[in-house]
Structure 1
Amino acid sequence: MLFQPDAGQLSAFAFAATIILWKKIVSGILKFLSITLTGAFVITSWIFLDDLAPVPYVEDILFLVSDLGNVWFIIGIFSLLLLVCPFFLFGSKGFVSLSLGVYFLITMIVTFIGNFPTPIMGYGISPIIGYIISITFITKYFHT
């Protein structure tokens, strides 16, 4: 992911992967090395940001919603926050659920930092399919 132009996606993936690596790696040295390498990738991707022009209905879709009024902006933010709730609700039962929640949350946060697509709202259909697969996985394997 380091070679793609989206530092937001790399950051989200890195934070999610760090949770999994921290849980799975036993050796303290390997934990340190994996976190250091992942951090270096994230920093590198933010230093060498892409120079693609932002597309308003992709990267700035929340701000387009806010132009409709504050109520719509609040509803938009609330709907995005609802997307991560299932992952954190089931996150206490598994670190995979927690890491997926962190992934989606970071992809939402970075949209306010730079020109990155807003999850679900500003993408095409493939992230929606990925989100549905993630929710299905979590509910199938971690639901009581």
Structure 2
Amino acid sequence: MNHNATKSICLAAAISLGLAGTAAAFSISFSWGNLKKCTSGNPNRVANPTFKLRSVPDGTAKIRFKMKDLNVPSYNHGGGTVKYSGGSTIAPGAFKYKSPCPPSGSHNYEWSATALDSKGKKLGQAKARKRYP
């Protein structure tokens, strides 16, 4: 076997091993859905948005969701914790939180989802951001 062939085989093996050891990262996305428009600065208690989950860590028993207004991070919009037994969607109504309701213009909001095992140990975290309205 010539030198170039050996280098090609070694490179292919290294790439293969590297890809095999890489697990997809836990991620979420969400949609505001039919959220009633609110721009008064006085949020409503509403059902959570639809969350799409990807690559939820093995052993996840519950997922804790929390929303943050990135323009006013000190304001507590709350969130909720849901039991998780598989699947890729958390439907509206799993918990209630204080809706986005910027007093003027639009704000940027971030949902974080923390995957927890049955004893409460953190297994992973994912975040997703959207502007509202």
Question: What's the TM-score bracket when you normalise by the shorter of the two chains?
Answer: under 0.3
Select the structure of larger CA radius of gyration.
Answer: 2
Q: TM-score, normalised by structure 1?
A: 0.22
Q: TM-score when scaled to structure 2?
A: 0.24
Structure that is richer in helix per residue: 1
